[in-house]
Amino acid sequence: MSCYEENPASKKRKAKTQEAANFVEGDEADEADEAEKPAKSVAPPTMRNEEGEVFFELSSKRRVTVRKWKKKIFVDIRETYEKGGKTLPGKKGISLSEDQYEALRDTIKSGAIDAEIAALG
């Protein structure tokens, strides 16, 4: 093989890269079709815990709670557990300040996280 001939492994990589590019272009066309359709967003039901704080269930063991603590508002994403018939917040989770929540929300809305998930998938 001369220095100007392409390595067979490089050819395979180029083919896969081109295939991936074609796949992404096809997805973008599908997304354009979906963008023309009206969005079918269903708001999750608003529930309140015993303290009167609003929460949204993510799954049977995880929820997002909007709460006020020391005159500040937090968005709490946390695992839950049951004890004595009550659902209680667990240790595993994170409390986001309003600024942190807004940064996360904006990142999600921008599509950057979805793009990274698609790239890894």
Cβ-contact 75, 64 below 8 angstroms: yes
Structure tokens at 10: 């490089």
Those residues with Cβ within 8 angstroms of residue 96's Cβ, 6 or more apart along the chain or in another chain: 74, 75, 76, 77, 104
C-alpha–C-alpha distance, residues 80 and 62, integer Å: 6
Give me the tens of pLDDT residue by residue for the chain, a chain 121 residues long.
444 455 555 455 455 445 544 544 444 545 555 555 555 667 777 899 888 999 999 999 999 999 999 999 999 999 999 999 989 999 999 999 999 999 999 999 999 999 999 999 8
